[in-house]
Structure 1
Amino acid sequence: MSTTLAGPLAGAARVRPDGWLATPLTTDLTRAETQARSLIHRHHPAAPGPVRCLTARYRTATFTLGTPPRQLLKRHGDEAAYLGEVLAYQLLDAERVLPKLYSASDTSRTLVVDFLGEPADIDSEIGFEELIAAVAAIHTAPRRWPQHTAETVRMWCLDSAANSPAPAWVREPTAWRHLLQLTAAAHGDDHVPLGHLDLKADHCRRRTDGCLALIDAETLRPDLTGLPDLITLAYLGQVEGRTLPPRWIRQAYRRHTNDLGAQWSDAGLVRALTAFAKATGLTSLHGADQ
């Protein structure tokens, strides 16, 4: 796991030092744009033009394609982040919670997806509950996977995790195993525990069909459970001028996940949140356990 110390998961994450990426991308917008044109020509020939650089960071770069923008090229400097995002598109294809994926290139670590320029307002209860519903759909997606997908990711099922050593970043293995047991009680032993979305207001956009979508899925992991995302939702409900009660957020999350096949009790969800904090060293649950 990794995040900033001041973020919603402070204490539960290991912060990577500066310079950890062996082959960083250029941060010069003009140079990044020139490189993108070459990569598109070789790996995404069907993508529209022209190409315009939106962001050029050492880990990722993004480019609009078309005038007005119709698609987005995303380039990763980190192979794990690229593979994580491709995995997210594969595992969540039927959920309609991400932009449409047009093409991906393992060689260049690039993806071409729909450009979603319209923000989704999450400041009201109605808008924020739409975000909660999208997160719930992601966390329960394994229930709706076709058999070939379920078999492919069998190694990440809860019953396999329960019989394996706790991850190296877990501080309290006993609490971690308790968390897995609680999650299995709610989702089933064969559940793949998807979680760790990069939830931010700016990542909430409108698809062309009007539904809320998340435009950044590179952090999604199939071994963390959905608890980090519920904690982040509680945090988001109290920042940037929002005053959404954490208890309301937890109850809405439980309702939406249970509507999609989970069997969380409120007491079980609180115990799972507490177990996650104890297992990982999380400094605050932001009221999600109250």
Structure 2
Amino acid sequence: MRGREQVLSILVPGGSGQLGQDLAALAPQAAAPSSSDLNVRDTGQVVAAVTELADRARATGTSPVVINAAAYTAVDAAETDEERAFAVNADGPRVLAAACSSRGVPLIHVSTDYVFAGDATSPYEPGDLLGPLNAYGRTKAAGEDALLGSGARSWIVRTSWVYGKTGSNFVKTMARLEKEREELSVVDDQTGSPTWSRDLAAGLLELAGRIAAGEGPSQRVLHCTGGGSTTWCGFAKAIFTELGADPARVKPCTTAEFPRPAARPAYGVLSNASWREAGLTPLRDWSDALKAYFAS
């Protein structure tokens, strides 16, 4: 069910990020300010932006919705900068929720598989117990709590392993390293679902359209990722293939052999059943999305 976004007036905090830019590209009528233009921690700025959105919607006979793409996503840096990560990932959603609630504007907030411990053996459902392993995950979980306790008409959409054409992401890193190194070691004991930000943006806009039509899902936490799953090593090999490079140049290694400041969940696959049950269009398989990403 695509195509309902034309009846919306949309505000996208974090509009300069990879997801924010894809949302703006797919919904040209959206206001998508960068974090420097709209600081989600600043109550005055947020209230003014949401008020302007609500006024514009009334003037144009459209339905207002906020899609929050603002986030602190530097996973390793958050280990020593948790206060700042918390301000963006938890305080920001709290401020947005208060402003949206007071003006009757629905809010869609993007979260992450990193809120889970990664010790599951089957895809995580929205209601499964949280257990973040790192500072980034803790701040995102706190942001979810802020929304769920706010009284705002809001939905949380968890996703995973997002990549796009802008910003820093795994696909762009692998493309750079393919040119720089003859061989590359990539961890093969962490499993997740790569998600193209453009596909995610289309899904979020479909959800926004459903909400505007009065058909918002009764479940307030949903999962939306690329279909299927792979390891980081498998993902890297697929990227090399799309680049026309020999995937055998990518060598598997363990997490223990490639230590990082922040612990990563070994298993971060999210079940998309809640998305399908809400009548929303499932995202394509991650491998098909990767091909389309390079083709575009």
TM-score by structure 1 length? 0.30
TM-score by structure 2 length? 0.30
